Amino acid sequence: MDLSELSPHEVAALTPPGGKEAALSGQPWTALVAQVGEEIAGPLTAVLERVDAFASTGAIDRQGLRRLREEVEQARRVGIACQQIARFACGSVRQAPERLHLTQALQAVLAQRSGDLHAHGIEMRQALQPIEVIVDPTLLSTLLDTLVDWMLAHAKSAAELRLDMKPWPAQARFVCRFHHMPPDLHADLAALAGPGREVLDDMHWQLLRHAAAAMGLVVRRSVREARVELTLEFPRTVADQLPGLTVLEDDEKVFPSTMNSQPLAGSHVLVVASRREVRVQVREALRHMGLLLDFVNSVEEAAAFCSEAVPHAVIFEALLRGERFNRLRADLLRQAPDLVFIEIIEEGAIFEVSGVGNSSVARIGRDAVPTSLASAVEFELLKAQQ
């Protein structure tokens, strides 16, 4: 269903009960390709004009440089969103569902993006119940971060967030409301309803709804006058906090709960990273887990370290994965067949769990390290213990 056909008073149920295949089968891909081209061409055209001006004058002021960076970043984010949507569409996203505290995850994203929200003058009004859901942690991070991007692009002055439980079926319900244009323009909305709705359907929105479809969420959006309301429903909800209800998904071995703040305290993790910024990023991501962390700069140092004691897990930069590292890994696996290896690849926000057999390695993108590395380490170590 094409969103441009909806009236301002209609609600778009964007993820049908049939799942992500049903949602993606009707996607107007030609319109989406045209939208990608438009959203990339706009900022890049502005970049070209600034570059031409700089070439002719030989000077650029601080404001012009700032705008240049913003325009390049805007085009870059559209390109990244397009790549992620393509992965969702072809079904190449591997998911490792976990029991996650949705409220804490949302609050963490809002805290991380508080500077952006403040810079845009957006006041956040929250009413969040403590709720757990069972979802893939990387996809949840992508969903929430994209939601903030969408709000930053369209919300005027304030946004309301509510997280509660639907009474039946018992499942988490997240609602986001904001005005996408100043409320005092209500009198002129009849002429602006169509274009206003089209503006809301930007690449942030496209990525948000594709991520939600991949997670099996129900997504509804309504636009009434200048007010937008987005509702996300999580079918796989842990409902043991409500009277008379039990855990909908209660396999704690399969879905370790993030409510236990340090389930792996004392586990030994060796980080092999040649760049200081990567080591700092990993340390910050894992500092709350109670792990014993050691850091080395090279494969040679890692071999010397492991000759004295084999850790429970090794986190390493992809650029260090060569013949010497492969030999070291083979030697370590002979000593400790359950040793966990997690590779940090240079770009992206993916997390791919390790497969079966000694040749497999879990992989995580550097963009996902701050939000998902802790969950990745927890998942891989708990899996190795089973």
DSSP string, 178-214: EESS-GGGGGGHHHHHHHHHHHHSSHHHHHHHHHHHH
Contact between residue 236 and residue 249 where contact means Cβ atoms under 8 Å apart:
yes
Residue type, 12: A
Long-range contacts for 37-46 (Cβ within 8 Å, ≥24 apart)? 39/74, 39/75, 39/78, 39/202, 39/203, 40/75, 40/78, 40/79, 43/71, 43/72, 43/74, 43/75, 43/78, 44/71, 44/75, 46/71
β-strand 268-272 against 292-296: which pairing, if any? parallel
pLDDT at 349 over 90: no
How far apart are the C-alpha atoms of 282 and 168, rounded to whole Å? 41
Output the average pLDDT for the chain: 75
Burial 302-324 (b: 16+ CB within 10 A, else e): bbebbeeebbbbbbbbeebbeee
Predicted pLDDT at 45: 73
pLDDT at 75 over 70: no
Nearest to 36 by CA among 70, 77, 3, 2: 77
Predicted pLDDT at 356: 44
pLDDT at 248 over 70: no
C-beta neighbour count of 76 within 10 angstroms: 12
Contacts (Cβ under 8 Å, ≥6 apart) of 311: 268, 269, 270, 294, 339
Summarize the confidence of residues 173-184 as an average pLDDT. 83
- Most confident of the following: 22-26, 240-244, 262-266, 284-288: 284-288
Q: What secondary structure letter does DSSP report for 242?
A: S
- Most confident of the following: 113-122, 253-262, 268-277, 359-368: 268-277
Start-to-end CA distance of the chain, whole Å, equals 45
- Helices of type H across the chain: 20-25, 29-57, 62-90, 102-112, 114-119, 137-154, 189-200, 203-215, 276-286, 299-306, 323-335, 369-385
Name the 3-class secondary structure at 141.
helix
pLDDT at 369 over 70: yes
Strand order across the 132-135 sheet: 98-101, 132-135, 237-238
Residue type, 352: E
How far apart are the C-alpha atoms of 177 and 160, rounded to whole Å? 5
Predicted confidence band of residue 297 (pLDDT cuts 50, 70, 90): very high
296: enclosing H helix or E strand: strand 292-296
Predicted pLDDT at 107: 87
Predicted pLDDT at 314: 96
β-strand 171-179 against 227-234: which pairing, if any? antiparallel
Contact between residue 282 and residue 273 where contact means Cβ atoms under 8 Å apart:
yes
pLDDT in tens, 155-168: 988 899 999 988 77
Which two three-digit tokens encode residue 149? 């991007």
Give Cα 258 to chain centroid, integer Å.
17
Nearest to 20 by CA among 213, 219, 269: 213
pLDDT at 242 over 70: no
230: enclosing H helix or E strand: strand 227-234
Peptide bond into 169 cis (omega under 30): yes
